[in-house]
Every structure is written in structure tokens, then in C-alpha cells.
Amino acid sequence: MSKTASITGGSAFRFGLLLLAMPLLLWLFLLVILPHMDLFLVSMRERISYGKYEFSLINYIEFFAEPLYWNTYVRTAVMSIFATILTLVIGFPVSYYIAKVMRGKGKNALFLMCLIPFWVSELVRTFGWMILLRESGVISNFLQWAGIADGPVEMLYNDAAIMVGLVYTSMLFMVVPLVSVLDSLDDSLIEAGYDLGGNAFTVTRDIVIPHAMPGIASGCIVVFMLTLGNYLTPNLLGGKDSLWFTEQIYTQFITRFNWESGSAFGFLLLILSSAIVWIGLKLSKQTLSETVG
Amino acid sequence: MADQFDLECRNVVKTFDDFTAVNDISLAIPKGSFFSILGPSGCGKTTLLRMLAGFQAPTSGDILIKGASVLGVPPNRRPVNMVFQHLALFPMMNVAENVAYGLKRRGVDKATITQKVNETLARVGLPDAGPKQISQLSGGQKQRIAIARCLVLDPAVLLLDEPLGALDLKLREHMKVELKQLQHEIGTTFVYITHDQSEALVMSDQVAVMNAGRFEQVGAPQDLYYNPKTAFVAGFVGESNRWHGTVEGGDDHKIEINLASGGKVIAKRDGQTNLVTGQGVDVFVRPEAIAIDGTEGADNSLSAKVDNVLFNGAASSLQVRELVTGHEMTVALPQTGAFASVKAGDEIRLSWSVEQTRCFASTEGGAGA
Ligand SMILES: Nc1ncnc2c1ncn2[C@@H]1O[C@H](COP(=O)(O)OP(=O)(O)OP(=O)(O)O)[C@@H](O)[C@H]1O
Ligand SMILES: [Mg+2]
């Protein structure tokens, strides 16, 4: 917006802008702010008797008093951070290969291959993993056939299975921002790095990663949030013992019909994800606007 | 003997699939000289330079630096450094870090790095630029930092790929002189790539004119200008008036040529015994070799009408059209200011000598338009 435009355009211009932004504002208000405000209000009350409520912090106190709740909370956070890091570690070389090594047709084909799993729903994808990993599944049968294992091997329902599922589900959301940010890195910068005596390690550390930092940050934020809020994958691949915080929320809302406590948990999850994203941005010296823009 | 040359290429060839980008190039660059490679866009200059830097391997042939073959030596271990076409300064580092990068990779200690960086920045005339960000530099300053980043490593050969291409005309003129001076002071061998003939002529000790993957001619700038050996060099280096024609006759010193557009000129044979009667040739005459209203008795002369006066100070010229054939020519106006009163529509008489008329076997076979 230039100065002259706002002077000559005046209020008409501002009204036009408002009109253009209306769908976005409505969306923000109706679907983001309003439900969260409601969630917040519900979480701050206690049911005294049927239809009677009172202001109280009991839902939050309950959360900290019950070790299962905050153990699950911390475990979900740690597992999500780990899944994000793992996705980054796997996704970075893949993205580098797609953006900088491949040329022409092969490049598009490879990118498409990263995309194809996302044409089916997450549910189907997760069942795919279950078919591979379960006791009577493909890998188990193969191991028995090859004589490596004596009996059926159960590979589902543990943390590793959850991790595999989460990383697989998140990969695209890491690869897309990384490929686009690496694509924008001029090849001659990399070559200049080598020309001045750098090797693969120092060039990656000094030139490629600093350049890719906004992409790394935005990929990590998206993957972390998706993982933290994921319900399906930890539940199906981890089974009863998955101990994922979204499950606790589900239980409160649906099984126990305790909306007050569920709302409090939902709010705590929001605070958790905001806090970790904020710390992550501070540690990597990125700003949110840079990452999103 | 070989180590008198900082850089040597022996029959270097580079092909991409079935396309030959660099075709059988040999060169030897003496220590401390400023060597330019001049050629039109796409002739293979960058490809040649990238082979020297080690980013591409030649399909065949050998490259020697200070007398030792560097085939198979990766770029980070070759004693050459490159200034990239778009400079490739690291935007994630400040100026001092950019210049220090190569030294750090060599494991030089901190105190020495600081000292050398400061020395080099001073040498390129930017002693206080160290803490600046790359985005805060002007085009010419970036240029100098890109060169400083290489010079600090004391390379045997500095490779420059059209480093002035992105600058505006005024700055380019200025940097030309500055680069030559810098090279003169530090004595490092420069290999400079450009498609701008004035850059090559002004700065270089030796120029190689490249066309379609081959060297057409290698020589001092004066040599290329006054004694071109091929039609391409005559046409590419400096301005020229050009005709097509066929050989009519002549002797050991002169060749008589019938021009395709009509008329006849006499050109210098210059030892070209291969030009026989009936052969198609290209004829070149420089605009400044043509005298206006010259004496009768000249070897070549014709009458023309002035189409346009292109006034450009000392480099003013006339666009004229030959009266009989309508062939367009450019004629330089003498710097003395004589003929300053010539204007469009005037009829003038042009003449030039045999010595100033060059002809080469036509590349297109017959005589074209
Ligand atoms: N990696 C490659 N694969 C296939 N062809 C290539 C490759 N690199 C260069 N070429 C071809 O080689 C030819 C020479 O390219 P080069 O970059 O050396 O030209 P140049 O003389 O530097 O041109 P310019 O002045 O425009 O920079 C071009 O026709 C180009 O298409
Ligand atoms: Mg080039």
C-alpha cells in the first residue's frame, strides 16, 4: 500500500479492503475465535448439579493432580518433537535430492511420488501400515518365511510403530516447504562454497541450512502441530497403550461426557503447541512472519 | 618450461550428449597475465571456465595448473578461484565473513584471518565494509567483495565469468579500469570471460576469440583489431562494414572482388593463397578507415548519400547509403571536427585503401545479401 493510494483512495479503498478480507475475517471469527472462547469459558466452570454451573479452576487442578494426565501430556509433547526431528532428518536429504540433484522429468516424478500417498485418506494409509506390521502381517510372514523368526512377530502397538506412522503421515508437509526453499537457493552459492575450499559438510552447514532455515522452521511447525493433534495414527498403531493426549480429550468429551474437563485439556494442548512453537522459533532465531511469508 | 604457464589446456573437448559445447581448445596462459575469452552468448565460455574451476570434467583433453594436471582434482582442492557470473556472495554472512570463508576452510588461525581480511578489503578499496550485510552493498561494491573473497586465498589463477555483466554502463566503464589496475598491482593471473569486446580489448594482455566452441584467434587486442584472421573475428571485434562478394582476380598482394550488391573493391590478400577466382568472400572495412571526400586516386572509392548523423562526441558517425547499389554503411566522423556540418541528405564521396580492406572466404559458401 503506497502512501498516495491511501490518500487519494481514502475510505473507499479501505472499505474495499474490508470487503475483500471479509471471508477471512468471518472464518477466523466463526471457526477459530468463537469456539476457542467457548472452550475457554466451558473449561472454567464446574457442574454443581443438572444445568447448574459455577466458576471454578477444578478442571485444571484435576489435570495436575492426576499423574496419568500430565504424563500423557509430556509424553505426547516429547514424542511429537521427536517425530518432527525425525521427519526433518529424513525429509531434508530427500528434499535436497529433489530440488538440487534431480533435473527435469525425474524431479517432477520424484516429487509426485512423495505426493501420491496423500491421495488416499489418512485412515487408509494407517491401515496400510497395520497390514504390514501386525502379527499376521506381511513383514511378520516374510520373516518367518525367510527363517529369521520362529513364530509370528507383533510389530504393532508400540512406540516405534507410532513413530513410523507419524513420520510417514507428516513427510509431505516437511518436503513441500523444504523443496521450495531449496529450489530458491542459487546453485552458484553452493559451487562458490566448494570453490572456496568447503566440503559437503561445511557447505551444507554454512550455506544450505542457513538458507533453508525459514523452510525448515515452517515445515517443523506444521509437522509438529499435525503430530501433536493427531488422533488416528497413534490410536490405531499404538493401540490401547498409545497414551496420546488427544485420546484423553476424546475420552473426556465422548466417553465420560465431561465437557468441562475436555475443554480444559483442549486448552492445555493449545498452550503446549503454542509454547513449543515459540521456543522453537526463538532457538532457531526465526520469526513467525518470516516463516509464513 | 611448462611451469612458466600458470594454466594450460591441451585439446580440451566437452560434449553434452551429442552437442559439442567446447571443441578442441588448447591454450597456455603465462604467469601474471590478463587473459580474456571473448565470444557471443552460448559459445561455450562458461563451460570452459567451469572445467578450469573443476565443476565439470572435460570429455577429453588435459588441464594443467602450474604444470601439473588437475584432472580429477575437485574444485575445493584446485589452486584456482572463481568469481561467478552473478557473484554468488553468501547472503547469510556479512562482508568480513564472506571474505574470511575460504581462509576458515583452510584452518587458518583467527588472528591471521582478521588481518588478511582487513588487508584484502583495503586492497579493493573497501576497508570499512567488513561488518556490512551483503544486501547493503552497491553493485560495484559487491563486485569488489566477490573479487576480494577469492584474492584473499592467493590463487594461482583467478577465473572471472562476466563479472561486470550485471552492472550499469557507467559503473562497468569504471570497474573495467579498476580491475585492470588491480590485476596489475597484485600480479595474479586473471582469466576473464566476456561477450563485451570493449571489456576484453581494454583490459587484456591476450584475448581469445571464441565461437561455437572453438578459438578463432588468440592474440593481443591490437592484433585482433588490426589483423583479424577469420571473418568471425573481423565481424565480432570492433565495428565493421561488411559486404559479400566473389573473387574476380588479383595478384599476390591484392584481390579484386565483385560485390553481390554491385560494384567492385580491392582487398589485401594477406597471404590467403586459398582465395581463388569465383570464390565467395566476406569483405570488411572499419568505419574509421574510410575517408570522407578523400583524394581521387584512392584504391577504393564510391559515392554515398547521408541517411543519418549519429552524434556521439568523439565517437560520432554517419549512416550512409551507397548511391548506386543502396548498400548501407557506417563511416566514422573525424575527431578533428571537420565535416561537422554534414547533414542527412548530403552526398559525399568515400574512399579507403587496399591495406584497410580485408576479405575472408565466406562461411556461407556463396554470396548472400
Ligand atoms: N549441463 C549442460 N547440459 C547440456 N547443455 C549444456 C549444459 N551446459 C551448457 N550447455 C550448452 O552449452 C552451450 C554453451 O553454454 P555456455 O554456458 O558455456 O555458454 P556461454 O558462452 O557461457 O554463454 P553466455 O555468454 O550466455 O553465458 C550452450 O548451448 C548450452 O546450451
Ligand atoms: Mg556464461
Q: Which H or E element spans position B49?
A: helix B45-53
Averaged pLDDT, B146-170: 90
DSSP characters over B164-227? TTTS-HHHHHHHHHHHHHHHHHH--EEEEEES-HHHHHHH-SEEEEEETTEEEEEE-HHHHHHS
Residue B354 DSSP code: G
Among the residue ranges B25-29, B65-69, B218-222, B365-369, the one predicted with the least confidence is B365-369
pLDDT at B330 over 70: yes
Please give the span between the terminal C-alpha atoms of chain A, in angstroms, as a whole number: 17
At B207-241, the pLDDT tens digits run 999 999 999 999 999 999 999 999 999 989 988 99
DSSP characters over A276-288? HHHHHHHHTT--H
pLDDT of residue B263: 81
Among B76, B89, B150, select the one facing A198 at the smallest CB separation: B76
pLDDT of residue B2: 46
Averaged pLDDT, A28-36: 85
- Judge: B75–A211 Cβ closer than 8 Å, yes or no: no
Q: How confident is the model at residue A293 (pLDDT cuts 50, 70, 90)?
A: low
Sole residue written with cell 495436575: A64
Q: How confident is the model at residue B1 (pLDDT cuts 50, 70, 90)?
A: very low
Q: Among A196, A201, A206, which would you mutate to test the B interface (most chain B Cβ atoms within 10 Å of its Cβ)?
A: A196
At A196-214, the pLDDT tens digits run 999 999 999 999 999 999 9
**Centroid of ligand 2 to alpha carbon of B41 (angstroms):** 7
- Quote the mean pLDDT of chain A: 87
Q: Which residue of B has its CA nearest to A212?
A: B92
Q: Tell me, which fold does domain B5-231 have in CATH?
A: Rossmann fold (3.40.50)
Sole residue written with cell 582487513: B118
Q: How confident is the model at residue B169 (pLDDT cuts 50, 70, 90)?
A: confident
What nine digits make up the cell of B22?
567446447
d(CA A164, CA A169): 9
Among residues B316, B305, B302, B292, which one has the least CA distance to residue B345?
B305
pLDDT of residue A91: 95
| Residues with Cβ within 8 Å of residue B277, at least 6 apart in sequence | B247, B248, B249
At A34-75, the pLDDT tens digits run 888 888 888 888 887 787 888 888 888 988 898 988 899 999
With the CA atoms of B220, B226, B229 and B232 taken in that order, what torsion angle do they form, in degrees rounded to the nearest 10?
100
Q: Among B52, B56, B78, B82, which would you mutate to test the A interface (most chain A Cβ atoms within 10 Å of its Cβ)?
A: B82
Would you tell me how many other CB atoms lie within 10 Å of the CB of residue B229?
Answer: 19
Does ligand 1 lie within 6 Å of residue B41's CB atom?
yes
Could you tell me if B102 and A196 are in contact, meaning their C-beta atoms sit under 8 angstroms apart? yes
pLDDT of residue A10: 65
Q: What are the start and end residues of each CATH 2.40.50.100 domain in chain B?
A: 240-361
| Residues with Cβ within 8 Å of residue B248, at least 6 apart in sequence | B256, B257, B258, B264, B277
- Judge: B105–A191 Cβ closer than 8 Å, yes or no: no
Q: How confident is the model at residue A28 (pLDDT cuts 50, 70, 90)?
A: confident
pLDDT of residue B225: 92
Q: Which residue of A has its CA nearest to B158?
A: A195
**Cα B239 from chain centroid (whole Å):** 13
pLDDT at A103 over 60: yes
d(CA B303, CA B350): 6
Residues composing chain B: 369
Sole residue written with cell 584446485: B78
Among the residue ranges A162-166, A289-293, B26-30, B234-238, the one predicted with the least confidence is A289-293
Domains of chain A: 57-292 (1.10.3720.10)
d(CA A76, CA A104): 41
Q: Using CB atoms and an 8 Å cut-off, which of residues 19-58 of chain B contact chain A?
A: 53, 55
| Residues with Cβ within 8 Å of residue A210, at least 6 apart in sequence | B92
Domain B240-361 sits in CATH at 2.40.50.100
Q: Give A113-169 as a 3 state SS string.
A: HHHHHHHCCHHHHHHHHHHHHCCCCHHHHHHHHCCCCCCCCCCCCCHHHHHHHHHHH
Q: Which H or E element spans position B326?
A: none
Q: How many CA atoms lie within 13 A of A148 on its CB side?
A: 7
d(CA B38, CA B233): 10
**Centroid of ligand 2 to alpha carbon of B180 (angstroms):** 21
pLDDT of residue A74: 93
Averaged pLDDT, A93-99: 94
Beta partners for B282? B244, B360
**Beta strands B157-161 and B80-83, pairing class:** parallel
Q: Which residue of A has its CA nearest to B53?
A: A195
How many beta-carbon pairs below 8 A join chains A and B?
Answer: 58
Among the residue ranges A85-89, A262-266, B299-303, the one predicted with the least confidence is B299-303
At A126-166, the pLDDT tens digits run 888 999 888 888 888 898 888 888 888 888 888 899 999 99
- Strands (DSSP E) contained in chain B are 5-16, 19-30, 34-38, 60-65, 68-69, 80-83, 157-161, 189-194, 206-211, 214-219, 241-250, 254-259, 264-268, 280-285, 291-292, 300-310, 317-322, 328-332, 347-352, 357-361
User: Is residue B170 less than 8 Å (CB to CB) from chain A?
Assistant: no
- In degrees, rounded to 5, the angle at the alpha carbon of residue A254 between the alpha carbons of residues A249 and A258 is 70
Q: How confident is the model at residue B364 (pLDDT cuts 50, 70, 90)?
A: low
d(CA A106, CA A99): 11
Grouping H, G, I as helix, E, B as strand and the rest as coil, residue B303 is strand
d(CA B181, CA B173): 13
Better-scored residue on pLDDT, A176 or B270: A176
Could you tell me if B61 and B27 are in contact, meaning their C-beta atoms sit under 8 angstroms apart? no
φ, ψ for residue A139 (rounded to 5)?
Answer: -70, -40
Do the interacting molecules here have an ipTM over 0.90? no
pLDDT of residue A203: 95
Sole residue written with cell 556479512: B94
Q: Would you tell me the crossing angle of helices A67-96 and A58-65 to the nearest 10 degrees?
A: 80
Beta partners for B314? B312
Q: What are the start and end residues of each CATH 3.40.50.300 domain in chain B?
A: 5-231
Q: How confident is the model at residue B307 (pLDDT cuts 50, 70, 90)?
A: very high
Taking the CA of residue B85 as reference, the ligand 1 atom at the shortest distance is 27
DSSP characters over B121-143? HHHTT-TT-TTSBGGGS-HHHHH
pLDDT at B3 over 60: no
pLDDT at A4 over 60: no
Q: In chain A, pLDDT over 90 holds for what percent of residues?
A: 42
The residue nearest atom 20 of ligand 1, judged by CA position, is B42
